[in-house]
Amino acid sequence: MTIAVGDTLPDVKLMKAGEAGPEPIQTADYFAGKKVALFSVPGAFTPTCSAKHLPGFVEKADELKAKGIDEIVCTAVNDAFVMGSWGKASGSAEVTMLADGNADFVKAMDLTMDGSGFGMGTRGQRFSMIVDNGVVEQLNVEAPGTFEVSSAEYMLGKL
């Protein structure tokens, strides 16, 4: 069953690029005690993700934080090295990049998509959410092929 507003995020391991290599992040611990703007993209360095989705959250970071957001997190079904490189390449110091390399996070939330037609395999759908102390307060899932409700601008309008 797809995650919904009021649900607690599934407790899975994500990875973060660190100075000494990939660092495991347990979601139950990571999202505890803070309000997070979380967004997921089908893939790092992909066209819409790189041209619109990530840049929108970088650009609107201060506005999101002014509305009570403690941290902005981007996830994708990529490895920690790719997510770390994408973050550096896009100048996204305001956005924490967390890798869902095995798609465990999106599978546990039932928010996967089949990208095999593009040689991408199982990926996460494009979505955004507000997570407060591990609980989903707002969930915005895109229809296939669209980029409207998961943007930073849309999220700001809902806060």
Encode pLDDT of 85-118 as tens digits: 989 988 778 999 999 999 999 999 999 877 777 7
Say which amino acid occupies 97.
Answer: M
Q: What pLDDT does 121 receive?
A: 62
- Annotation says 74 is catalytic: no
Encode pLDDT of 67-77 as tens digits: 999 999 999 99
Provide the 8-state DSSP code for 53.
I
For the CA atoms of 43, 95, 150, 112, what is the dihedral angle to 10 degrees? 40
3-state secondary structure of 28: helix
Encode pLDDT of 146-157 as tens digits: 889 999 999 999
Domain 13-158: which CATH class? alpha beta
Closest CA to 75 of 35, 47, 103, 46: 103
Residue 50 pLDDT > 70, yes or no? no
This prediction's pTM: 0.93
Domain extent listing, the chain: 13-158
Q: Give the active site residue among 25, 49, 77, 83.
A: 49
